[in-house]
Structure 1
């Protein structure tokens, strides 16, 4: 499996709200039909019925499954087998065995492994290398809850140290395995400025995409992952100058070596995407 991610803006949509499916798919790059946390236990079966009857574009649709080994997981897989969707997100992924369980139940599907517990984050490197994994995503609130904590963020809205470590650990695991990495959702819907800052950091750090929970957040994420014209032009000029250089050289007063050139290539790739 490649490390491609359908993004940059992935929008969660509760699977028990089929009247929202089309709008979510229209607003975002990819819609995640959520059978897990967004759906109350009493509405799980209705969500599966709605999922089975939906006809969204499989190339731009992900289905979030409940954790492997749960009763809901088996029922989710049964519903998914009645659809054409071939990419899933596995909630609370904790080991490569969880990925194998998905592939056993569903066959050759792509799996986005959601590492959102202490065990899942610690095992992220092994999970990323499992057959079928296309990307890793991390989750802050479930992670902190799994540790017995009460909040992933400080009163200033910034992540606590443990959440930052998990974010970095999942990103590094994905990168080492050649998989995509998806940044966690920003739950304060009204704080667009905070979302913009976090999405900018995600793009600059190497995340492939960022998930969101409201259509109003999509444009900020897209803007963060799309380099502006000045960045693209500078990257093109730098790469053009490198063609006539050997090894390390100076460009506009700054040292340029291979890592800097890779940064420039990443900007060009994001602009193309």
Structure 2
């Protein structure tokens, strides 16, 4: 699965295939993107769909809601086996998912104060295969009004949450997914944020509009110059042990791993 994950409202089945074609994976959303009165229709549309299960994620409603059990029942009638749990707040939430959806992979979406603080515990649950964070629900749960300042940068609490989830995922050895970028026309801002996500260690970035998928892909794809430098460095390091100098830089194990990560993002 590549770095661009595109949300699609589950009550808009006419958009399913287009979303899947535009991004590396589609997230069929049964939660915030669907009005309460449309949720049952969204579940039926989900059951009737036939996307590639390897490239399809279904976002389900939080455990404490009545919609959670109805979402699980609908999912069991499909071939999809990866879910995103909205507002994951504790390890107990993930155990509940495992009870109703055994053998499903779960992306835990940490987007409340409880979820951010418990991200390290959530990340080690056996059914959790990735963590994602959400800025807007987090700030709303704190009583705030905006996750970003006037310059477009995240406010301190949101930046802290982003780092917390990335670190929790890294400590557990699972991927982290960066939050969405709400300013749809600002593709330059999106690209800059996606480049930062890739350089920081996020595995992917979620998108809310098809136009965002390609800028995210480009941000994650290293330039020809970066690839050449990484290959040259690794060739130079072959057969060496310990620390050495190369083109005026000190080179050690972490720097070599940086180079390996760059090459791992080269797409065929």
**TM-score, normalised relative to structure 2:** 0.99
RMSD between aligned residues: 0.8
Match of 2:123?
Answer: 128
Give secondary structure in 1 for the equivalent of 2:131.
strand
Kindly indicate whether residue 164 of structure 2 is the aligned counterpart of residue 169 of structure 1.
yes
> After the TM superposition, which segments of 4 or more aligned residues of structure 1 sit over 4 Å from their partners?
none
Give secondary structure in 2 for the equivalent of 1:165.
helix
205, 217, 229: which one aligns with 2:212: 217
Unaligned runs of 5+ in 1: 1-5
Give secondary structure in 2 for the equivalent of 1:76.
helix
Q: In 2, distance between residues paired with 1:65 and 1:88?
A: 7
Q: Deviations over 1:219-267 (max 9, x none)?
A: 1000011111111111111011111322110011111111100100101
Aligned residues: 268
104, 109, 125: which one aligns with 1:114: 109
1:7–1:210 contact (8 Å) kept in structure 2: no
Match of 1:3?
Answer: none
Kindly indicate whether residue 250 of structure 2 is the aligned counterpart of residue 262 of structure 1.
no
Measured after TM superposition, the shift of residue 70 of structure 1 is 1.1
Q: After superposition, where does 1:145-156 map in structure 2 within 5 Å?
A: 145-156=140-151
Match of 2:31?
Answer: 36
1:14–1:39 contact (8 Å) kept in structure 2: yes
Q: After superposition, where does 1:59-208 map in structure 2 within 5 Å?
A: 59-208=54-203
Q: In 2, distance between residues paired with 1:102 and 1:59?
A: 20
Q: In 2, distance between residues paired with 1:266 and 1:252?
A: 20
Kindly indicate whether residue 30 of structure 2 is the aligned counterpart of residue 8 of structure 1.
no
Q: In 1, distance between residues paired with 2:126 and 2:242?
A: 37
Match of 1:23?
Answer: 18
46, 49, 65: which one aligns with 1:51: 46
**TM-score, normalised relative to structure 1:** 0.97
